[in-house]
């Protein structure tokens, strides 16, 4: 993903960062609502699978956010491209 980030303008990076943060927030809200409402009905194994999938998705978003923030910081240190 890092190679793709280099080709984007600072404004495009900021837009992508904002979108990723919104997506992560939406995912957390949806998981909290869904998981809280269905855990009693789906059983422990399914609940554990949902939790694992949720954690993996959050990790993916967090990694992408960190990569974009790192690129933005590098640009701020060198001047804008």
**Residues 42-58: tens digit of each pLDDT:** 777 888 898 999 999 99
* pTM (predicted TM-score): 0.80
pLDDT for the residue 60: 97
Residue 12 banded pLDDT, cuts 50, 70, 90: very high
> Tell me, what DSSP letter sits at residue 7?
T
CB 31 within 8 A of CB 55: no
Q: What's the token pair of residue 4?
A: 């793709």
CB 10 within 8 A of CB 71: no
Q: What's the token pair of residue 81?
A: 């491209």
Q: Which of 51, 65, 63, 71 minimizes the C-alpha distance to 5?
A: 71
């Amino acid at each position: 993903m890092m190679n793709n980030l280099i080709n984007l303008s600072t404004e495009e990076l900021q837009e992508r960062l904002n979108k990723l943060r919104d997506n992560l927030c939406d995912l957390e809200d949806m998981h909290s609502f869904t998981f809280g409402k269905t855990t009693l009905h789906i059983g422990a194994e399914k609940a554990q699978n949902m939790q694992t999938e949720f954690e993996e998705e959050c990790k993916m978003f967090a990694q992408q956010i960190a990569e974009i923030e790192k690129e933005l910081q590098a640009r701020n240190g060198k001047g804008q491209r």
